Amino acid sequence: MPDFPAHASPAFPPISSPRPKHGDRTVSELNLDRNSKHDDHSHPPLISPAFTPPHTPFQDDKRQHTLPVEELERRPSNHLPELPIVHCEVRARIPTTTGQEMFLHLYHNNVDAKEHLAIVFGPHIRSKSLDAPRPGETERDRMIRGAYVGTLYPGRTSSRRVQEIQKEAGARPSAGYLSGLNGPTQHQPAPSVSDDGSEFDSIYPPSLGPPLVRIHSECYTGETVWSARCDCGEQLDEAARLMSLPIPTPVSTPGSEASDEHQLQHQIQANGKLPSCGGVIIYLRQEGRGIGLGEKLKAYNLQDLGHDTMEANLLLRHPGDARSYGLATAMLLDLGLGNPNPTPENPGLGIRLLTNNPEKVRAVEGRNREVRVVERVAMIPLAWQTGGKEGVQGKELDKYLGTKIEKFKHMFAPG
């Protein structure tokens, strides 16, 4: 493994050949040697390597992805006594520089005054608190705050889905009737409506498998001013890229997947391109692992004086990591991604969490396992994946990653 930094050895076996190229990577290609063992016996692997899919994540047997959650080391002390109350105030469509769209959801809550965000990729994830009717609001109010289904366009008059309008009209209305209600202008495409009147963004197709989720902590330096002290900006970009990957061609199996395939074909026809497999980045305003930007900058000066990132926090009288994840749990539940009461008949999908931080896996599930993490997907630095051809690099980053591994016990490989 000549391309990996020294602190990556021996925990980081080489990535299988051929070496991944930027733009070609899939989630599954992030997997390292599945036989590798984490060398710290005091921190057993949370998830067996078998839970990271070997090939296309959506085509594997889903039982293979089931996390043996009983094996998780629970740390209830890190959970908030009760889940915060969160409320999605507004969402808006954001076209991105990659050509994919995402929906930015802005949340308020009852524990801090910050505006935490959910960055939603794909059409299938919706906020319950956003969609719920609010007293006295008009259809226009609902569209302005983003509580609409389908696509906005000049002249649209209803936030509701075509199915609901049809139901209200008592029979299947004519195309002229629908265009009077929801009709696009001549410049804008109509909402994606299938033959039976349904729209795509109303359900999460089980055939897509558990959605990909990233819980990301704000990092002004890494995400905005090009800092090479950490890998935060790269991780944010990579999470978005993975969630924008096109859905693999659906497998034709009996049951729901047949209708998913029908929907997929329809969406391809409507948009002219493959929809993304989707997912959500929960973007928490936890700058500097919760200590804030000013304190993080002091910590950087201490690091330049020779201390590592954990020591610097402690010298400033902060915990090494001052974060909690109850807000993320509550936001995931609001987005319909929790599964608090699984039954054998309805085990639920759970989520696939993109992280190297074992504490996040435990914490985001919540004290009562309101959310189920069925798989942890490791985030390998791009420089390690590409032998230094891509990604953030530098001696400060090497030290940062080394401390994450040695002191914070982050796992840069599955399991």
Ligand X SMILES: Nc1nc2c(ncn2[C@@H]2O[C@H](COP(=O)(O)OP(=O)(O)OP(=O)(O)O)[C@@H](O)[C@H]2O)c(=O)[nH]1
Q: Please give the residue ranges that form the binding site for ligand X (CB under 6 A).
A: 217-219, 229-230, 232, 235, 286-289, 291, 296, 299, 309, 313, 355-357, 360, 379, 404, 410
User: Which DSSP category does 15 fall into?
Assistant: P
| Closer of 145 and 404 to ligand X (Cβ) | 404
The one catalytic residue in 260, 321, 334, 352 is 321
Question: In this structure, what token pair is assigned to residue 55?
Answer: 């090939």
In angstroms, what is the C-alpha Rg of the chain?
Answer: 22
Smallest gap from Cβ 30 to ligand X, in A, equals: 12
- Number of C-alpha atoms within 13 angstroms, CB side, residue 342? 17
Distance CA 305, CA 308 (A): 9
| Closer of 309 and 339 to ligand X (Cβ) | 309
| Closer of 217 and 267 to ligand X (Cβ) | 217
The one catalytic residue in 323, 352, 362, 376 is 323
Smallest gap from Cβ 324 to ligand X, in A, equals: 12
Of 407, 316, 321, 401, the closest CA to residue 12 belongs to: 401
| Closer of 208 and 310 to ligand X (Cβ) | 310
Question: In this structure, what token pair is assigned to residue 351?
Answer: 């989520």
| Closer of 250 and 288 to ligand X (Cβ) | 288
Backbone angles phi and psi of 48, in degrees to 5: -65, 145
Smallest gap from Cβ 237 to ligand X, in A, equals: 12
Smallest gap from Cβ 409 to ligand X, in A, equals: 10
Distance CA 339, CA 230 (A): 33
Distance CA 190, CA 413 (A): 44
262 burial (CB, 10 Å; 0-12 / 13-18 / 19+) is middle
Instruction: Verify whether residue 321 is a known catalytic residue.
Output: yes
Smallest gap from Cβ 12 to ligand X, in A, equals: 14
Hey, which residues are catalytic here? 321, 323
